[in-house]
Amino acid sequence: MPHPDDKSRPAGLSIDRRGFVAAGAGAGAGALATSPVKAQTSRHSHDDHNHAHDHSHVPSDAALTAMALESVLIGKGIIDPAALAALVEHYGRDVGPHIGAKVVARAWTDPEFCAELLENGTDALWSMGIGGVLTSMIKIVANSPTDHHLVVCTLCSCYPWPVLGLPPSWYKSPEYRSRVAVDPRGVLKEFGIELSDDVKVHVWDSIADQRYMVLPERPAGTEGWSIEQLETIVTRNAMIGTEILAPQSGTAPEVQA
C-alpha cells in the first residue's frame, strides 16, 4: 500500500521522491555528501496506529532537483565539490543582512561616514572591508520622513549580495518584480506599510552592475544605543524598503562584547 506522501509525486516522474533519495545515496553519494539537504529518518509511534516504524522526511521537489543537478555537475567534473562547499559556507557565514546591519548602524552613529555612504556607496563600503566585484557599483538610498525607497530587480533578481546576502524568494518572484513597478504603494501595503500621500516613493530597479540598498530611518527610542545594539534591530526587509523599523521602548538589547 503506498504511503500517503506518495500522492505528492508529480505525474511523469519515472522514480518517486523516496526512490530518488535512495538511489542518490548510492549513485551520487559523493555529490549528496556536499549538499545541505538530506533525507532524515525518525522512528516513532503514532496516535492513529499502534506500531512504530521508520518515516523518511523527504526533501522538497526543488531541493531534490538541486541535488540532482549537483550530482550531475560533480559527476561530469564541471564543478568541484570542495569549492561548492566553500561557497555554501561563505554565504551562510560571511555574507548576509548582518553585514548590511553593520553599515546601517555605523551610518546612524557617524554623520561623516553616512555622508560618504550616500555620496559613494562603493567606496564607503570598501572602507569597511566590504566589497568586491558585486559592489563595483552600489548606491545607498536613505529613507526619510518625506521619501521612501524600495529596491527591486524587474528583469531577474539582481541584489546587493555583499551587504544583504542571498535574496529572499519573494524578491525573485514575478509578482513582486512586476507589481512594484506599477503599484509600489499597493505592494508596500501588503508588507504592512501605509505611507501618507505626501511621502514620495522611489523605486530603484537593480541591474547586474548597479545594485541598491536602503538606509532605513533610525527608530525613535534608540538614543544612546551602541553600534552593536543598533545592529540587532536592522532587518533585511528594512534594507530593501519593505519594512519600516518600529520605535523601540524599554531598555537597549544586551549584546556580547
Active site residue 156: yes
- On whether the CB atoms of residues 20 and 30 are closer than 8 A, the answer is no
Our finding on whether 156 is near Fe ion (CB under 5 A) is: yes
Q: Would you say 31 or 153 has its CB closer to Fe ion?
A: 153
Which one from 156, 173, 178, 226 is the annotated catalytic residue? 156
CB of 93 to Fe ion, least distance (A): 25
When binding is defined by CB under 5 A, the residue of 31, 101, 140, 153 that contacts Fe ion is: 153
Q: Would you say 170 or 246 has its CB closer to Fe ion?
A: 170
- On whether the CB atoms of residues 231 and 98 are closer than 8 A, the answer is yes
Our finding on whether 137 is near Fe ion (CB under 5 A) is: no
User: What φ, ψ does residue 56 adopt, rounded to 5°?
Assistant: -100, 130
When binding is defined by CB under 5 A, the residue of 125, 130, 138, 158 that contacts Fe ion is: 158
Q: Would you say 120 or 157 has its CB closer to Fe ion?
A: 157
CB of 157 to Fe ion, least distance (A): 5
Alpha-carbon separation of residue 140 from 100, 202, 227 (angstroms):
11, 13, 19
Active site residue 114: no
Our finding on whether 213 is near Fe ion (CB under 5 A) is: no
Alpha helix locations (H) across the chain? 17-27, 29-32, 61-75, 81-93, 97-109, 111-119, 121-127, 161-164, 169-172, 174-182, 184-190, 227-231, 236-240
Strand partners, 214: 141
Binding site for Fe ion (CB under 5 A): 153, 155-158
